[in-house]
């Protein structure tokens, strides 16, 4: 059965690509490229917002589990076609963390390079504030790595438990129900 649309698959792989390329660009010293990749990060975020509203049944925000579903899932371990409640929580945390990463990156470009969307604030911001935002950016990335690890661990556990081919579904959009 089709669970993820082609747009959702595109969102997923755009997000993975920008995160990996953003990391590699800064680690290899390509700071200007890192800023450009940071701007490219807006594409998967906007696409995800679109899918939250206009996506299929499993992609919409309404498909994300609520707290009552979460506690019920922990007790019963029901099978879900889309994201289970635990995966919904991890995905929400990932998207919030990526948004913080994006915003802190925009601020840093303005404050450190005197260019970008917030350049008008650059001269009014203290070195301490810039250092704080730099730490927020770095810690956000480390937090994102934790959520990515939880996401991958969840995929492995859910495959082991119910063999629903979650990994294959992010390439094909299909799962066996």
On the question of pLDDT at 165 being above 70, the answer is: no
**What mean pLDDT comes out for the span 40-57?**
93
pLDDT of residue 136: 97
The pLDDT value given to residue 106: 92
First to last CA, the chain: 7
Q: What is the pLDDT of residue 67?
A: 61
Distance CA(145)–CA(73), nearest Å, equals: 25
How does pLDDT run across 114-155, given as a tens digit for each residue?
Answer: 877 787 887 888 889 999 999 999 999 999 999 999 999 988
Question: pLDDT exceeding 90 applies to what percent of the chain?
Answer: 53
Predicted pLDDT at 94 = 95
Instruction: Fill in the DSSP letter of residue 66.
Output: P
Q: How high does pLDDT run on average in the chain? A: 87
Mean pLDDT: which of 52-56, 70-74, 108-112, 172-176 is highest? Answer: 52-56
- The pLDDT value given to residue 162: 66
Given this model, what pLDDT does residue 164 score?
A: 60
DSSP letters, 154-172, are: HHHHHHHHH---HHHHHHH
Distance separating alpha carbons of residues 14 and 144, to the nearest angstrom? 16
Residue, of 7 and 69, whose pLDDT is higher: 7
**3 in Cβ contact with 169 (< 8 Å):** yes
Tens digit of pLDDT for each residue in 71-106? 777 777 677 777 878 888 899 999 999 999 999 999
């Amino acid at each position: 059965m089709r669970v993820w649309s082609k747009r959702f698959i595109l969102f997923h792989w755009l997000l993975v690509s920008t995160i990996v390329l953003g990391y590699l660009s800064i680690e290899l010293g390509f700071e200007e490229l890192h800023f450009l990749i940071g701007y490219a990060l807006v594409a998967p975020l906007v696409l995800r917002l679109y899918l939250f509203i206009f996506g299929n049944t499993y992609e919409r925000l309404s498909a994300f589990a609520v707290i009552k579903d979460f506690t019920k899932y922990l007790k019963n371990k029901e099978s879900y076609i889309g994201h289970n409640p635990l995966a919904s929580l991890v995905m929400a945390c990932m998207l919030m963390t990526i948004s913080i990463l994006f915003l802190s990156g925009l601020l840093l470009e303005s404050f450190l390079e005197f260019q970008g969307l917030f350049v008008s604030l650059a001269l009014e911001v203290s070195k301490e504030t810039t250092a704080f935002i730099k730490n927020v950016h770095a810690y956000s990335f480390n937090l994102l790595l934790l959520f990515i690890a939880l996401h991958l661990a969840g995929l492995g556990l859910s495959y082991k438990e119910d063999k629903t081919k979650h990994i294959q579904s992010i390439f094909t959009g299909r799962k066996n129900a």
